[in-house]
Chain A
Amino acid sequence: MIEISFTEADGNTRTLSAESGGTLLNAILGAGIKGIVAECGGGCSCGTCHVHVAREWTDRLPAPADDETDMLSLAEGVTEQSRLACQIRLVPELNGLSVALPGAA
């Protein structure tokens, strides 16, 4: 199991646990995080699973593909830490990953 520290829009931080192999989006949806709609089901088509990855983790993730960069190009609150949760595959090395919803304190 992989543990992820997740900061919600209201600034509260929760720990999510998820099986290795799924995506960060699946872990978020399973936890019932408010505000993630994820209309396209992980197809990198809707841009509604935008998260900010903590700085210490950004370089440890595979770089985003062009599709993901395009979807993020105009997302609300986009920063260098922005990623789409559907494109982040949870591998054991990501145990302890820390992410936040954009707009979280």
Chain B
Amino acid sequence: MQRIVIVGAGHAGVQAAASLRDQGFSGAIELVSAENALPYHRPPLSKRFAEGLTDAAIALRPAAFYSAQDISLRRATVVEEIDASEQRLTLSTGEQLAYDQLILATGSRNRRLEVPGEELSGIVSIRNLGDAYRLATSVVIGTRAFVVGAGYLGLEVAAALAKRGVKVTVAASRPLPLGRSVSPDTASVLATALRDMGIETIVGAGISGFEGNGRRISGVRFADCSLYETDLVVIGIGAVPNVELAQHAGVEVDDGVLVDAALATSAAGISAIGDCVRVRGIARLESVANATFQARCIAARLCGRPAPAAETPWFWSDIGDLKLKMVGLRQPDDVVRTLTADGGHVALCFRNGELAAVETINANRIHVAARRILDAGVQLGVDAVCAPDFDMVALAKSLAARPIEASRAA
């Protein structure tokens, strides 16, 4: 194989390039990024935007990495079109770029709140570095902020703003924050913590539009015609996968670029990884852990090596000083038992009587232990886990750790 082209230089794309070299691929690697910035970590954008992020501080890899690994990074270059039959891309530079294998890592974009006034300045949605800079510079003493959406992004931003002394109101569609993502038990703990941070929550208020003072946001208009004055609006109402490029090339798409378990799309020579994909039969996962894991998997496959050991999906979020971590995919019908451990909150989610997911707030050791237990496929019933002398960390320690070579195979 001569040339692998990767479209998108987020976590998935950059990790795929790095893992291909790790796995011994010696052909050409072309990494095409629509953005001009050196590829960077996204989680800090919503969590630490106010700390004066510098390009170097959040770079996924220093600039020297790409040249040392002989990875051609094309910045500020958009892929306009894929010709799947000719195995060739058309770039915004006018250039044609042939590939032997194509990896789509096009990510997702924030869902828009399509109401009158959405174009006013001071309305921010965080996805890229420019958004984070815009938000950071909007925060001055006495700012009032209105955050639309009580998902991870909205809450991370709300907590970070509150920490800067901004008066924050969050508009939520459900009674409990993160209501779609975590158990009601964990969401209740979060709700209390948000109140303690001085964050006010409005539930179920329909937003009919934004009002401006000139071109700048001055207030949020609700469906009942009431007006909420604010200096800043942050929209965090979910993301949509960037599938258009694949779709136009005839690749099968359904809430994400559809891939099989090996991350192959319906088109020969085209794979896809990260936030833009949905693996057939399961819901689309948006997480850094998933993106980097899939990147390691695709690199192994293209290099003819065994796939890395399967990982139970895991997620993390820093909401102010709360370190929220989840392992396993919770289902709404799971039976939840909570306990206090390690000085933090732990929610154990059981499905068909067995431990299926664990949510923790400020209880890292339990999270790490739960990851090892679920990764190992150990089946734990409700009675066993809720017995007074049960020690999750001790159980995890007793499990043989995955061999270092295998876990580092990518």
Residue numbers in B under 8 Å from A67 (CB-CB): 323, 364
Name B316's contact: one of A35, A40, A77 (CB within 8 Å): A40
B289 and A70 contacting across the interface, CB-CB below 8 Å: no
B323 and A45 contacting across the interface, CB-CB below 8 Å: yes
User: How far is it, in angstroms, between the C-alpha of A5 and the C-alpha of B364 when the chains are bound?
Assistant: 30
Contacts A35-B22, A103-B405 known; A43 to B62 CB distance under 8 Å?
Answer: no
Name A31's contact: one of B68, B318, B397, B408 (CB within 8 Å): B68
B404 and A102 contacting across the interface, CB-CB below 8 Å: yes
CB distance from B287 to the nearest CB of A (A): 9
B410 within 8 A of A: yes
A30 within 8 A of B: yes
Name A70's contact: one of B342, B402, B407 (CB within 8 Å): B342
Name B61's contact: one of A9, A29, A75 (CB within 8 Å): A29
State the majority secondary structure of interface residues on A: loop
- Interface size of B by Cβ–Cβ distance < 8 Å? 44
Give B351-410 interface residues, CB cut-off 8 Å to A. Answer: 364-365, 368-369, 372, 393, 396-397, 401-405, 407-408, 410
Name B289's contact: one of A26, A32, A42, A46 (CB within 8 Å): A46
Residue numbers in A under 8 Å from B69 (CB-CB): 32
Give B35-57 interface residues, CB cut-off 8 Å to A. Answer: 41, 43-44, 47, 56
- A residues bordering B, Cβ < 8 Å? 9, 22, 26, 29-32, 34-35, 37, 39-43, 45-47, 67, 70-71, 73-77, 101-103
- B residues bordering A, Cβ < 8 Å? 11, 15, 18, 21-22, 41, 43-44, 47, 56, 58-62, 64-65, 68-69, 288-289, 292, 296, 316, 318, 323, 325, 342, 364-365, 368-369, 372, 393, 396-397, 401-405, 407-408, 410
